[in-house]
Structure 1
């Protein structure tokens, strides 16, 4: 199978076939018929076919579609290894959680290009950055008395205080110090995690409203 595709690409060196199989972890199954391979292993073979002519850019369309969780993880791990080997990978997928795990830059498409950027950059651009402070007990007046120049907004939901700041790495110590001065009993401080799904929905909704 792989030798046939290598010939289609004009690859005459049989070592390239061996190298491609080794790269995807199939070197020890080189002589097995494709029909006997599991779906996950067939996806690995498909990646070997894409790699056999050593392309500088790898174009992949839904590489984990239809795979069980274990096989999908194997393919994701392989793609991460290929990326670390400085191979450019262009991945087309509807699996936003997978895109967030694998991709350094994201292009969001919905009939047209809506946004391009690193996942963290897109989240910050659309939602800003918010710190979630979990308190030992609710403190209703706390958002109003913070009065710090770097706080863009603050709100309280039960015992959770949500504070929007521009640079958490720089401002968190000042924020915590002020809260302690105001008598707040702090249990946890963490940055609010937005997902790529939220980014996508926000962009699509904004595009509809435009």
Structure 2
């Protein structure tokens, strides 16, 4: 890598970043947390709905049959379901805390692209026409660079058009997510569409 030392992003590298660019990067972080909250809200709402319905059925059963209902098999089953769903809800809350924690740490480094390698991947169900994965290295200081940053596109890239272009590396260490932002478009949003088909390749 010549004069550059490859590093992991553990601090922010501003490099003359504008207020608009900085606002855009932090909006990406907020988007991640919002997605996590939405996922948590959906699962929690489903659990609470089932608990509420089961509880309402148990109440009607008890109201109709009185204290004899306490000893009935149907009532016991209903209470059992409520207990199970409370356990599921507790687990969902624990996972929610863990999921939100994944997006708590956030680092970025603005700089110039100093190397680019492109690879074409054959089509799949989500993208039958295929796609290109670009592996970028971004110089975040005069001596330091961040490498192995993935970016995806439908079209091939010509290196001479991108080498020297301003970009930002964005890193969420607890989520093990590193991606690029170029001209306001971030690779994470692009890759989300076919994330499941790529996840095994990215982990390899």
TM-score w.r.t. structure 2 length?
Answer: 0.27
TM-score w.r.t. structure 1 length?
Answer: 0.27
